[in-house]
Structure formats: C-alpha cells, structure tokens
Amino acid sequence: MTPRAGDHAIVLGAGIGGLLAARVLTDFYDRVTLVERDALAVDGPRKGVPQGFHAHSLLARGLQIMEELFPGVTEELLAAGAVPYAAAQVRMIMGGLEFARAPAGDIGVSATRPFLEGHLLRRVRALDRVAIEDGVQVTGVLTRGDEVVGASVAGPDGERELPADLVIDAMGRGGRTPAWLEALGFDRPEEDTIRVEVAYATRYVRFPDGAVEGDRMVLVGTSPETLKGAALCEVEGGRWLVTLGGSAGVRPPADPEDFLAWVDEVLPPDVAAAVRDGEALGEIGVARMPTSVRRRYERLGRFPKGLLVTGDAICHFNPIYGQGMSVGALDALALRDCLREGTRDLAGRYFTAVAKALDPPWQLSTGADLALREAGNQKTVASRVLNAYLGRMRRAAARDWRVAEAFTRVTGLIDPPSALARPAVIWRTLRG
Ligand SMILES: Cc1cc2nc3c(=O)[nH]c(=O)nc-3n(C[C@H](O)[C@H](O)[C@H](O)COP(=O)(O)OP(=O)(O)OC[C@H]3O[C@@H](n4cnc5c(N)ncnc54)[C@H](O)[C@@H]3O)c2cc1C
C-alpha cells in the first residue's frame, strides 16, 4: 500500500519536470498544487519555455517512464498526430559514417515539445487531486525555523501564501533553490559547470512528397572538425523540424540563405534537397546555451525539510544529446521510490537517488563535450581512452547494427554506459 506523506504538496513550475513530479505526488498527498508563471492555455511555444521552439527528442527511457506514470499516453500522442518511428527509420550519422540500422526495436514518438507538454498537462489536469494555478508567479518560500512550509505567489489578485508539507522547485535552469538556501542560512550546492557554448537555429519545413522516404529522423552528430551538426525530425502536422546546432562558439545562421548553405554543408545531399525544395513554415528561431550545470545537492550536509528540487533546476545538459526531459522523468521516479519509503530524511535519500540516476547521462554528455573541445586540464587520461574506444565503436556501428543498437540503447538511457563494455560489444567493436 502507498503510504500517505501529507496533506498538501506544491510544485513550482509546470514544465516537463514539474508535470511529472505533480503526477507522482498525487500518489502520496491529498492535494497537489502546480504553480506556473505562464498562461497554460497557449498552444505552441510559451515564454517560460523558449526552447520549446527547437527539436526536442524524447529518449526511449523518457517515453517508458511517461508511459509508466500516465498509462496509455503513447497511444494518445500517436492518435493525436505524433509521429511513430522505429530504429530502422532513424538515419544517424556520426563522424561522417552512417550507422547500420537495427531491423526491429521499440517504437519511439516524435513530436514538438509544446505538443508533448500539452498532452502531459491534459493528463495532469484530469487528476482529481491536482489544482493548477497558471499565470501566477512564485515569489519565495515560506519558512518556519529552518523548515520550508509553503510558497508565496503573486497573481492577478495580488500576493498570497500557499502553506504546504512539501514544496518542489521545478522552475528550470533558473530554479531559485540556491538563493533560498543561502537566505535561510544553509550552504549553496557546489556546481559542476562545463562550458559548451552551443547554439541552435531552427526552422519548420514541409518536405516535398516522397522526400527522404523511409526516414523519420536524421541526426548528424557534431563534427569535431567543423563543430557543426543537425537534428531533423518529422513531427505532428506533417512538418519536419530542422534544427542546426553549433558547438564551442560556432553559431548556425538565422539568415534564410545562410541557413540553407549550412544545410548543404552538414546534411546528406538528399536530405539537404528536401529542406531546400520544401515549404519553409515561419521564421528561423535561434537559441544559445553557454554551459551544462549540475548542482550537487547530494553533497550538502544539511538541507531544509519540506523542500526538494527536480529537472533542469538540478542539472541542465548540453541539449544536443536530448537528455533533459528524460532526466526530469528519472527524477520523478526517484521521488516516487523515495516517498514509498516514507518522509524520514526525504531530501537526503532523494538527492542521493537523483545523483545516482544522473551519473550516466552526465558522464555521457560531458564526456562527449570534452572530446569535442580540448578542455585543458579537464581532459583526463580516462576520458581520452574512453573517447578513443567510442570513436572505434562509431566506426563499428557503421557496419554492424548490433553495435549501433548497443550504442543507442545507452544514449537512450535504457542501458547503463557499462553495457558498452560487455564482451560481445567489445568484440564486435574491435574485430573491424
Ligand atoms: C535549445 C534546447 C533544446 C533542447 N532539446 C532537448 C531535447 O531534444 N530533448 C530533451 O529531452 N530535452 C531538451 N532540452 C532540455 C529540456 O528543455 C529541459 O531539460 C526540460 O524542459 C526540463 O524541464 P524542467 O521542467 O525542469 O524546466 P523547464 O521546462 O524550463 O520548465 C520550468 C517551468 O518553470 C516556470 N517558472 C520559472 N520561473 C517561475 C516562477 N518564478 N514562477 C512560476 N513559474 C516559473 C517556467 O515558466 C517553466 O514553465 C533542450 C533545451 C534547450 C535549451
């Protein structure tokens, strides 16, 4: 039986992390309030989530967890127009080599971020115990001694206090917990920061009929020489989302002609032709992300009772690896598993569980970033050996779909990175 943890919990921020946390909390609290600054009726990218304009791939593990928390959501997404894809429909190009394609495998779901978020929001709204307060800004936390006992919010009807047994900061990369900790006399968490200087330029395009037949996604990994890459995916509404990405300070252009020149340079000729000959829909949008940041809450000796953090507010990644939403889902599972054990030392157990879940995706993305960009003394012998092996593995993946599959299961967060060191994978990697 699920133990009851309290009367009221509040989630601050209704992004993917906040929606999933709210769903989990309904198993343990009588009432859950979700507070969001934006008006959530908006269909399409909203102010608080500007990244929603750009490609948002949902990793296999992220989709699995969403299905576990919201049974039937995959079918709902597909029925509403999200694009199903099999491994054999993903054209993955790394270091100029195209991966061999697995003949079978689980079905993934491709959609825009607002579409995915809209469906999760609908499911959360339908939960009896949830109240959603949108158009309402979080202004602070309420405290008693060194405990957090609610949040203060400001909306159209002025400032109010919302008392609660638990408050979760899901306000994204601008999460306020470090500042609140300091104000309460606690230490701020240490931060691991990796400079990535990634920039995106995105345009929605309707491809000509029959273009890139058979493919539903084209992923071109960042080239170490040019520091350019691209992600194209078919999404709801018969459109393709064309996102160009530059790393280490390289910026894809927002000018339409320069955008197409970059398309010709980075993409295989048939895909570049589909973009050129397709119907451009709307303007080109750009985004920049200077750093990946991991806040080490698990290392703090003291943390206020009544407060937790989730999603990007704990760790935000270089987006080119498509991990953020799936990691938010992993945080939600950690929350559920910890609450099943009761509320004693909840923060200590939760941040430890989250840190364990975060280690693989953080190692994958920062390892790849360090390989891409000489990062001075950050580049260790271990990372050099690992990157040489991964380079060899990418070459093996071009001729052996089983290696490609092992690689994508790890990057999809289904298998741990140690799966790449299984004897069968090592043998297949080295035999070429
Ligand atoms: C360009 C780009 C591309 C990306 N691509 C991918 C991808 O391909 N795949 C992937 O999985 N992830 C991707 N990500 C990461 C992904 O967007 C995030 O990891 C994910 O949205 C985590 O969500 P979150 O809920 O923690 O935070 P957010 O989605 O940022 O949500 C935070 C919410 O808090 C609200 N909020 C903030 N302050 C307040 C306040 N004071 N009061 C009330 N509400 C507030 C905001 O309005 C927002 O709704 C990408 C990120 C970027 C920048």
Domains of the chain: 6-85+112-192+293-367 (3.50.50.60), 90-105+193-290 (3.30.9.90), 379-430 (no CATH)
Q: In this structure, which residue's CA is closest to atom 19 in ligand 1?
A: 324
Which atom in ligand 1 lies closest to the alpha carbon of residue 56? Answer: 8
Residue ranges of the alpha helices (H) in 26-86?
A: 60-69, 73-79
47: exposed, middle or buried (Cβ count in 10 Å: 0-12, 13-18, 19+): exposed
Taken in order 58, 61, 64, 70, the sign of the CA dihedral is: negative
Report CA(312)–ligand 1 centroid distance (Å).
6
How much is the pLDDT for 388?
Answer: 79
Which of 165, 66, 80 is closest to 123 using CA atoms?
66
Cα dist from 241 to 111, 201, 203, 252, 280, whole Å: 9, 11, 6, 15, 10
- How many CA atoms are closer than 13 Å to the CA of 244, on its beta-carbon side? 27
- Phi/psi region, residue 245 (left: phi>0; alpha: psi -120 to 50; beta: rest), is beta
Say if ligand 1 is within 6 A of residue 231 CB: no
Q: Kindly report, residue by residue over 151-160, the tens digit of the pLDDT.
A: 999 999 899 9
Give the type of residue at 90.
V
Say if ligand 1 is within 6 A of residue 318 CB: no
Q: From the CB of residue 135, how many other CB atoms can be counted at a distance below 10 Å? A: 13
Say if ligand 1 is within 6 A of residue 411 CB: no
Instruction: Per residue of the chain (432 residues), give pLDDT as tens.
Output: 688 999 999 999 999 999 999 999 999 999 999 999 999 976 777 899 999 999 999 999 999 999 999 999 999 999 999 999 999 999 999 988 999 998 877 889 999 999 999 999 999 999 999 999 999 999 999 999 999 999 999 999 899 999 999 999 999 999 999 999 999 999 999 999 999 999 999 999 999 999 998 999 999 999 989 999 999 999 999 999 999 999 999 999 999 999 999 999 999 999 999 999 999 999 999 999 999 999 999 999 999 999 999 999 999 999 999 999 999 999 999 999 999 999 999 999 999 999 999 999 999 898 888 777 654 444 577 767 777 787 888 899 999 999 999 999 999 999 998 998 899 999 999 886
How much is the pLDDT for 244?
Answer: 98
Residue with tokens 């109010």: 160
Cα separation, 272 vs 380, whole angstroms: 38
Say if ligand 1 is within 6 A of residue 200 CB: yes
CA 107-57-64 angle, to 5 degrees, is: 45
**Diameter of the chain measured on Cα atoms:** 68
Report CA(30)–ligand 1 centroid distance (Å).
27
Question: Could you tell me the strand order of the sheet in which 147-155 lies?
Answer: 137-144, 147-155, 158-163
Say if ligand 1 is within 6 A of residue 252 CB: no
Report CA(339)–ligand 1 centroid distance (Å).
24
Cα separation, 365 vs 369, whole angstroms: 6
Cα separation, 22 vs 12, whole angstroms: 10
How much is the pLDDT for 378?
Answer: 47
Q: Kindly report, residue by residue over 341-359, the tens digit of the pLDDT.
A: 999 999 999 999 999 999 9
Please give the DSSP secondary-structure letter assigned to residue 348: H
